Amino acid sequence: MPEQEVAARRARELRAEIERHNEAYYRHDAPTIPDAEYDKLFRALQGLETQYPALLTADSPTLRVGAAPLKEFSPHRHGVAMLSLNNAFEPAEVEAFDQRVRDGLESIAAVDYAVEPKFDGLAISLTYENGTFLRGATRGDGATGEDVTPNLRTLRCLPLRLAGEGWPPLIEVRGEVLMFKAAFSELNVRQRERGDKEFANPRNAAAGSLRQLDSRITASRPLSFFAYGIGAGADELGVKTHGDLMDLLAAWGFPVADERRVVQGAKGLLAYFAEIGAKRAQLPYDIDGVVYKVNKLAAQSQLGFVSRAPRFAIAHKFPAEEALTVVIGVDVQVGRTGAITPVARLQPVFVGGVTVTNATLHNEDEVRRKDVRVGDTVIVRRAGDVIPEVVAVVPEKRPTRDLFGEEPLNPPFVMPTRCPECDSAIEKGVDEAIARCTGGLFCPAQRKAALTHFAARRAMDIEGLGDKLVDQLVDAGLVHSPADLYGLTVETLADLDRMGEKSAQNLVAAIETSKQTTLARFIFSLGIRNVGESTARDLARYFGQLENILAADCEALQQVNDVGPVVAASLAAFIGESHNRQIIDRLRAAGVNWPASEPVDAGPKLLAGKTFVLTGTLPVLKRDEAKAMIEAAGGKVSGSVSKKTDFVVAGEEAGSKLEKALELGVTVIDEAEFLKLLNLGV
């Protein structure tokens, strides 16, 4: 087959595929491939049309901006066409752009450029008549867009009446509707709570919100707007540079990018690109590159346009943060706290500046919602230092057979029931998205976190045993569970990095001292999920002895103050694992002990139902002692004062909490009155 005929067939295929993606992106706000993949298709078609000019057709997508407007919206013809920008991806392409500009301006030595972030949102045009907002429309196909005026009126950041002065009778202001990152996260939380579909990214959320048929829905969405240019009416403004134009838009009341400025030459462009790239993750909104425009408006007019884009401007795109690849397996990883995370194993793909082979699937519910299966082509995202994640499946690329062409497509993902690290049960609490390993003290993946918690000041209080030393002990294979701590010797510890004999002696002494503890501290030190200090004290008081706790079922556990079904289930699961019982037995055998006590009456307490706040320095009692006394009497201790607070116990140098109590009319007592309450009741 002749070479040009092959090229013609490929061009037809590319045009059809690009138009399909244009339809999804511009008309339905539901792109099916990452921007980088679309750019590859677009540039491939441009390359063929450049190599074989006869292949360039009047309806080629390289001559168009987007897609025709939806029939649900009234069409609006722009006074001045809304063109797109050509893209640069490499420094050499930016340098070539600067050279073309200088050549077009009769080879001047250096050009001043207005530079600004490239917002990742939906381009719109706003028409103002005599300073009053008349209508607004989407870009559409560049010539005609969709009239979305009622929806745009709901944007609080968009001026309905221009401030200042100097605007002509009719003017088109160009800009971008977008959604800030924080607002996008909050919107998806609300979508999830209502059981509605979540948005893939802020750009989709903004576009979908603006193109609602019911403007009340748009009004409920947190949309923002930034202006970046003028269409019709620009010739009447009398400004000479793009920088002056942006200042004028700001004076009229439009939000504009704070990061805009003017730089000189290709070196200035590339330096700005590097600067914004370093700030990208910290910006409150998504950007996918920066835009360079010749600053002098007269020079812009001199350079003019080519087909669908201006010669005086270009978009310099960041490396793609999204890419396509194939899932070759789904495993689960166990985190330091026992959280089970499904992870997709991927065909290697370069994205976000690195080669990615694994991506998080977050949790079982997310895997099912996205329906990720082995063999699927997926969109993978990596932004900055964020862990790579699978954003979505590309449904049309799903195979009907497995990778070997023999068996049907793999079934949906099912969370394993046993931990891959320790074979303990995997459980998920009521109304929880995250499944967890119940291995606790025994699970290798949780070992370091469990040991650090065990040694903490409010637990077994082993002074000198911090995170770094725990890492060394585990990595050296010296400690596998808390019980192994009590077999460490000075000689063994002294060989560790930056330890020394004196430090080793101090640590061994601290470990020995920790053997004398309380039942409440011991329970808390075990790191049982949902069992904090207060609950551990309640358990110790109610049952008196560890044996009674170990023998209790869920019903018996729920007789304890503030122990409900969730806490009882966590306790029962921990107790039910034989390896946890073995470690407890080893700790007791190593000499860990506490004073014996009898179970207490579970009847009414003197301070039951009362909430206290402690502030200032008490004359006799320490803050922890007072807190323990309140909880022992059935009361609760809060860290802040509110209308629900019953008493504020104030000592010397009481500050804002005392002021708040007086402001709200909460009863304030001193230590003597507090002790009287404990003796006499309320």
Residues in CB range of 640: below 8 A, 6 or more apart: 613, 657, 660
- pLDDT tens digit string along 458-479? 999 999 998 889 989 998 999 9
In the prediction, which pLDDT does 681 show?
A: 45
Which pLDDT value is given to residue 3?
A: 80
CA angle 191-356-352, nearest 5°? 70
293/296 Cα distance (integer angstroms):
9
pLDDT tier, 523 (very low <50, low <70, confident <90, very high otherwise): very high
Give the integer Cα–Cα distance in Å for 428 and 365. 11
In a domain, 281, yes or no: yes
Asked if residue 435 belongs to a domain, the reply is no
Question: According to the model, what pLDDT value does residue 227 have?
Answer: 96
* Residue 180 counted as domain residue: yes
Q: Nearest 5°: phi and psi at 50?
A: -75, -40
What pLDDT sits at residue 549? 93
The CATH number given to whatever domain includes residue 663 is 3.40.50.10190
Residue 92 phi/psi, 5-degree rounding, is: -65, -35
Asked if the structure places residue 416 within a domain, the reply is no
Give the active site residues. Answer: 118
pLDDT of 440 over the 80 cut: no
For residues 461 and 343, state if they share a domain.
no
Q: For residues 250 and 358, state if they share a domain.
A: no
**Residue 42 identity:** F
Task: Check: CB of residue 188 under 8 Å from CB of residue 199.
Answer: yes
Q: How far is CA 621 from CA 112, 506, 607, 670, 672, in A?
A: 71, 30, 18, 11, 10
Buried b (16+ CB within 10 A) or exposed e, 135-155: bbbbbbbbbbbbbbbbbbbbb
With a cut of 80, say whether residue 619 has pLDDT above it: yes
pLDDT at 384 > cutoff 80: no
Q: Say what the pLDDT of residue 489 is.
A: 93
Closest CA to 120 of 330, 317, 387: 317
CA–CA distance from 333 to each of 152, 362, 388, 414 (Å)? 45, 10, 14, 14
The burial class, CB within 10 Å (0-12 / 13-18 / 19+), for 392 is: buried
Burial 98-131 (b: 16+ CB within 10 A, else e): beebbebbeeeeebbbbbbbbbbbbbbbbbbeeb
Most confidently modeled range among 113-122, 328-337, 528-537: 113-122
Q: Where is average pLDDT lowest: 79-88, 409-418, 488-497, 579-588? A: 409-418
In a domain, 68, yes or no: no
Tell me if 649 sits within 8 A of 626, measured CB to CB.
yes
What pLDDT digit, counting tens, does each position of 244-286 carry? 999 999 999 999 999 999 999 999 999 999 999 989 888 999 9
* Residue range 289-343, pLDDT digits in tens: 999 999 999 999 999 988 678 999 999 998 777 889 999 999 999 887 788 999 9
Tell me the percentage of the chain whose pLDDT exceeds 90.
Answer: 41
Same domain, 141 and 280: yes
- Asked if 97 contacts 88 with a C-beta cutoff of 8 angstroms, the reply is yes
Query: Alpha-carbon distance 140 to 69, whole Å?
Result: 5
Q: Looking at the structure, do residues 189 and 153 belong to the same domain, yes or no?
A: yes
The reply to whether 417 falls in a domain is: no
Q: What is the CATH number of the domain that holds 449?
A: 1.10.150.20
Helical H segments across 202-309, by residue range: 202-210, 215-219, 242-251, 265-279, 297-303
Q: Are residues 210 and 301 in the same domain?
A: yes
CA–CA dist 543, 560 (Å, integer): 9
| Domain co-membership, 172 together with 245 | yes
Q: Does residue 596 form part of some domain?
A: no
* Residues 261 and 329 occupy one common structural domain: no
Domain span at residue 215?
Answer: 76-317
State the average pLDDT over residues 481-496: 92
Domain boundary among the residues 284, 317, 350 is at 317
In this structure, are 544 and 643 located in the same domain? Answer: no
- In this prediction, residue 63 carries a pLDDT of 60
Number of folded domains in the chain?
5
Mean pLDDT of the chain: 86
Average the pLDDT over each of 145-154, 409-418, 512-521 and give the range with the smallest value: 409-418
3-state secondary structure at position 662: helix
Query: Which residues neighbour 547 within 8 Å (Cβ) at sequence distance 6 or greater?
Result: none
Q: How confident is the model over 29-46, as a mean pLDDT? A: 76
Q: What pLDDT does residue 306 have?
A: 81
Specify if 560 maps to a domain. yes
Q: Which residue has the higher pLDDT, 231 or 605?
A: 231
Looking at 539, 557, 589, which one is the last position of a domain? 589
**Structural contact between residues 481 and 552, judged by C-beta atoms closer than 8 angstroms:** no
CATH at residue 368: 2.40.50.140
pLDDT band at 190 (very low <50, low <70, confident <90, very high): confident
Same domain, 579 and 517: yes
CATH code for the domain of 138: 3.30.470.30
CATH number of domain containing 26: 1.10.287.610
**Which pair of tokens denotes residue 401?**
């057979």
Contact 415, 340 (CB under 8 A): yes
Nearest-CA neighbor of 149 among 181, 170, 121, 177? 177
Q: How many CB atoms lie within 10 A of CB 326?
A: 17
The residues near 178 (Cβ < 8 Å, ≥ 6 apart) are 119, 120, 121, 122, 202, 203, 206, 223, 224, 225, 226, 285, 286
pLDDT at 97 over 90: yes
Decide if 167 contacts 131 (C-beta within 8 A): yes
Q: Are 202 and 184 in contact (CB under 8 A)?
A: yes
b/e map 210-219, b = 16+ CB within 10 Å: bbbeebeebb
- Which of 302, 305, 265, 272 lies closest to 287, judged by CA? 272
Q: How many other C-beta atoms lie within 10 A of the C-beta of residue 9?
A: 11
Domain final residue pick, 37, 63, 89: 63
pLDDT band at 664 (very low <50, low <70, confident <90, very high): very high
Chain centroid to CA 6: how far?
46
Position 682 confidence tier, pLDDT thresholds 50, 70, 90: very low
Instruction: List, for residues 346-377, the tens digit of each pLDDT value.
Output: 999 988 778 899 999 988 888 988 899 999 99
* Residue 351 sits in the same domain as residue 379: yes
- pTM (2 decimals)? 0.52
Residue 71: is it exposed, middle or buried by C-beta count within 10 angstroms (0-12/13-18/19+)? exposed
247 & 129 share domain: yes
Please tell me the distance from the alpha carbon of residue 342 to that of residue 361, in angstroms, as a whole number: 5
Please tell me whether residues 13 and 53 are part of one structural domain: yes
Strand partners, 77: 144
